[in-house]
Amino acid sequence: MTPLRHLGRPPLRLDGGADGRWRLEGGGTLLNASGGPLVQTLAQPPQPPDDLYDVVTPSGGVETPVRARLERELLARAGIEAGGVLWASSGSDAMEIALWFADWHAHARHGRAAATYLVRRGGYHGNSFLTRFLSTRGGTEPERTLDGRRLVILDEHADGASLPAAYVPADPGPDPDGGGGRLLAALARAEAQGAIVPPAVLVVEGVPTTGHVLWPGAGDLARTVAWCRERGILVVLDEIASGCFRHGGLTALGPGAGAGARPDVVTLSKGLTSGAYPLSCALLAPEHAEALRSANQRPLTFTYGLTDAAAWFTLDCLSRYDALAGSGAFSRRAAAIRSLLEGRRSNASTAGVAATATTIRVDLPAALAEPAIAALRGRGLWAYLGSTAFPLREGAAARAFLHLCPPLDLEPAEAEAALAAGLGAVDAVLAEA
């Protein structure tokens, strides 16, 4: 029996599980709709060949055929075949590597460390010293400072530093696949206000769990990257939580972006091995990979990074994602989500609904978070819940963000039923509010 800990609540005691479901001590089951299991379940990870564990191999500076194959395949899928990969074991460590590169790049170009970091409000970038500084789920301050670094927090709504008095939850905006240019507009406001002091770095989640806009859209994201490139702002695309097909693609941008709209660094982790093995990485654009190679520079890291076992797990997971995409699983999930959400956005006076190809996110007043979670459990579902405080003209608005993401390999009919049950639970809570 294993207690499943979740912050601030009594533990759920588990008696095993498989196929995205947990058996509860005392009877009953929960379907994990949080997105945590990704392709496989934590209870049944893929089984590697025995010889991968026969010896302990070093991770740094050793290239084996399986590791070289993984690097080639990953860079090709990201559309940066001539780039480079820096490996680590945790999401936070991958972000630290990306930020180390940002500083190295700033010193190489400007003779000093990065001065300005730009982030979306509601973003989360890790649990290390510097990544905590970049994370903005709590608090409503427009900027922070740390050891000479200035953090500018971008608010993606029309009023800039303050939300409208009647808060309108996230909606798709004029761009049907995204946030209607709000990220780019927020950057332009920061520039007009003189807040962007070079060297500057934009650190942005492709699909943030608790940001004002869930999905900026590949077009808006590409335009944002191009805008930053024109101004010499380095772009780190944080896909630790959202990448590796969790939302239908390897990254939010996709492989088709041209060089001018390609991030400088992309970080990946959780989905690389579907949670079955610790691995993360930072993918570098070709010009940056070549600069590091020429300078013979590597980041300081204390984790194992890429080993043969980690490479095997990742290649296995990539093949499973390929099989799911080839079978139409992603397209069927996306069609089911579109059908479920038809007409809902026009009724979003209290709760907003946004979606990607695999996931539905409900944006609620924070006071309704606990009732919503209780209603989901009553229907046999478990989902991810986060929160963000947004600034208002007077005080702050606390919002809760509920993510429904059944396992990607769940049968389409069962996934649709789980998503429908989750929305039904939220509707029942709203009806009583």
Q: What is the pLDDT of residue 317?
A: 87
Domains and CATH numbers, the chain: 2-43+328-432 (3.90.1150.10), 58-325 (3.40.640.10)
Q: Residues in the chain with pLDDT < 70?
A: 1-20, 34-62, 158-180, 255-259, 301-302, 345-349
pLDDT of residue 58: 53
Question: What is the rounded distance in angstroms from the CA atom of residue 25 to the CA atom of residue 48?
Answer: 30
pLDDT score of 7? 45
The pLDDT score that the predictor gives to residue 3 is 42
Q: For the chain, what is the total number of helices (H) and then of strands (E)? A: 10, 17
Q: Which pLDDT score, from 0 to 100, does residue 20 have? A: 66
Find out whether 215 and 221 touch, Cβ atoms under 8 Å. Answer: no
Tokens of 425: 């639970």
Spatial CB neighbours of 106, under 8 Å, sequence gap ≥ 6: 112, 113, 114, 115, 199, 201, 234
Phi, psi of 174 (to 5 degrees): -70, -25
**pLDDT tens string 302-349:** 677 888 888 888 998 898 889 888 999 889 999 999 999 887 764 556
Distance (Å, whole) CA 170 – CA 351: 9
Contact present, 244 and 313 (Cβ < 8 Å): no
Return d(Cα 215, Cα 171) in angstroms, integer: 10
Q: What angle do CA 410, 246, 67 make, to 5 degrees?
A: 110
